[in-house]
Structure 1
Amino acid sequence: MLENVIKKHIMLQPTQVQDFVKEATKCDFDVDIYYNRYVVDAKSILGVFGLDLTKTLTVEYQGHNKQFEQYLNGLAIAG
């Protein structure tokens, strides 16, 4: 059975990228982060730094990791 795709809208500061990647790496499922059509692996620090961090980013994944979801909720933006 496939799990639903979960999407969260976040803002990341450059100083938060390392922690974000560290938390994503703890997940045993794929985690993507994107802005518009530019999609990168959220477990890649260079990929995440390649995104425009002044924009709202979307994190997308299929799986469950309570610690990661709590971390994302701290970065979430309204909307």
Structure 2
Amino acid sequence: MIERKIRLTDTEEVKDFVRAAGKCDFDIDVCYNRAVIDAKSLLGMLYLGICKDLIVKYGEQDERFEHVMNKYAIA
């Protein structure tokens, strides 16, 4: 399982992230505190809010998804 931290700062970034996650054929979860949301759900991602440090968990690698993850990754 791969875990990375990201931060999305506006709704366009959320849409971009959800679009990229939707193209993957594996599960991607986004965690904030005790909430775990499907990364492919736009409403779920908007529910988490923006400008928060989120943890993304996924089991496989996809080059296009990794590119999007790198755009929003934080240390």
TM-score range, shorter chain: over 0.9
Identify the match of residue 21 of structure 1 among 12, 18, 21. Answer: 18
Please give the secondary structure, in 2, of the residue aligned with 1:59: strand
Q: Give the Cα separation in 2 of the matches to 1:69 and 1:44.
A: 18
Q: Which has the higher helix share?
A: 2
Q: Give the Cα separation in 1 of the matches to 2:23 and 2:51.
A: 25
Q: Give the Cα separation in 1 of the matches to 2:15 and 2:26.
A: 19
Which amino acid in structure 2 is aligned with residue 32 of structure 1?
Answer: D
Is the 1:33–1:40 Cα contact (8 Å) retained in structure 2? yes
Which amino acid in structure 2 is aligned with residue 6 of structure 1?
Answer: I
TM-score normalised by L of structure 2: 0.92
Which amino acid in structure 1 is aligned with residue 56 of structure 2?
Answer: V
- Counterpart in the other structure of 2:54: 57
Identify the match of residue 9 of structure 1 among 5, 21, 37. Answer: 5
Q: Give the Cα separation in 2 of the matches to 1:52 and 1:25.
A: 19
Structure 2: gaps (5+ residues): none
- Give the C-alpha shift of residue 15 in structure 1: 2.2
CA-atom RMSD in angstroms: 0.9
Identity fraction in percent: 47
Structure 1: gaps (5+ residues): none
TM-score normalised by L of structure 1: 0.88
Corresponding pairs, count: 74
